[in-house]
Chain A
Amino acid sequence: MTNQDIDRAQLVEDHSDYLLSFAMTKLRDIDLAKDLVQDTFVSALTKLESFEKRSKLRTWLTSILNRKIIDHWRKAETRYTDPISNFFDQDDSDRHWLMEKKSDSSIANIEQVLEEEETMNELKDCLDKLPEKWNGIVSSKYLEEKESEQICNDFDITPSNLWVIIHRTKLLLRDCLKSKVVR
């Protein structure tokens, strides 16, 4: 495919909303997300020759966008010196959650208590309360279905960091969802 073969306006019509929604599974700032989507189109048009027809255009665009999101995080880290790994050096007092927290009720029956749409809305709300990078990791695992090695690479973390993040994500989501079911 060459630059001339592609209808640029159609590209925007067909993919911009999807790409924006994808970006927002990983980012909180909608203006930043919109900028990155626009950059994605610009980059895509400059390297159309590297697009292989075997892959879907949308998949290809998504991978360019994903790279931009990762680059954004990397830059943000050097700016604010708040790498994700710092999280693990901090106070460890909440690690022994089993000992201090008596969680008697389970959320296993949530889908019997809430309508599906309601459950999904509550889940989205709870996901928004996670640290932004954790959203990125959750999206990498559950939306993009990436292997742990790829996720660790993208986020500059070790496999044990990853298990801990997923574990803590689940605890936060569980507590958040529980608070929505028991009202």
Chain B
Amino acid sequence: MKNCEDTTLDVERSSFERLSIKDRLALRMHLAMCPQCRKYFKDSTTIDTLLKKRFSHLGEEYKFTQEEKDEMKRKLAG
């Protein structure tokens, strides 16, 4: 039986790589029995969704001033 720490790390690992059958089973069993880790799993998923949303429309949140742009153009013109 995996402990809570291993379980929460496996939750994050699973977003990068496919867990082995053994780890997937252990994760599922632990989540079924542990309300705290279930909550972590739920919050982790929510934050994933929020972060994906935050980065899905990276606009031009920061801007150079026109003077800075002109200065850069001058430098690049060589």
Judge whether B17 is part of the interface by a CB distance below 8 angstroms.
yes
Closest residue of A by beta carbon distance from B73: A9
Known: A8-B77, A12-B76, A98-B4. A170 touches B55 (CB 8 A): no
Closest residue of A by beta carbon distance from B38: A106
Judge whether A52 is part of the interface by a CB distance below 8 angstroms.
no
Instruction: Tally the A-B contacts, defined by beta carbons under 8 Å.
Output: 117
Known: A106-B42, A108-B43, A170-B43. A142 touches B51 (CB 8 A): yes
Per DSSP, are chain B's interface residues mostly helix, strand or loop, or mixed? Answer: helix
Report whether A98 and B75 are in contact in the complex, using a CB–CB cutoff of 8 Å: no
Of the candidates A21, A138, A166, which one forms a contact with B58 in the assembled complex, judged by CB atoms under 8 Å apart? A21
Report whether A123 and B16 are in contact in the complex, using a CB–CB cutoff of 8 Å: no
Report whether A174 and B12 are in contact in the complex, using a CB–CB cutoff of 8 Å: no
Contacts of A170 in B (CB 8 A): 12, 43-44, 47
Contact count band on A: 35 or more
Report whether A173 and B47 are in contact in the complex, using a CB–CB cutoff of 8 Å: yes
Q: Which residues of A contact B (CB under 8 A)?
A: 8-9, 11-13, 16-18, 20-22, 24-25, 30, 33-34, 37-38, 41-42, 45, 95-96, 98, 103, 106-108, 110-111, 116, 119-120, 123-124, 127, 138-139, 141-143, 147-148, 159-160, 162-164, 166-167, 170, 173-174, 177
16 residue pairs from A and B, CB less than 8 Å apart: A9-B73, A9-B76, A16-B69, A17-B60, A30-B62, A34-B64, A96-B5, A98-B4, A103-B39, A107-B47, A124-B54, A143-B55, A147-B16, A163-B13, A167-B11, A167-B12
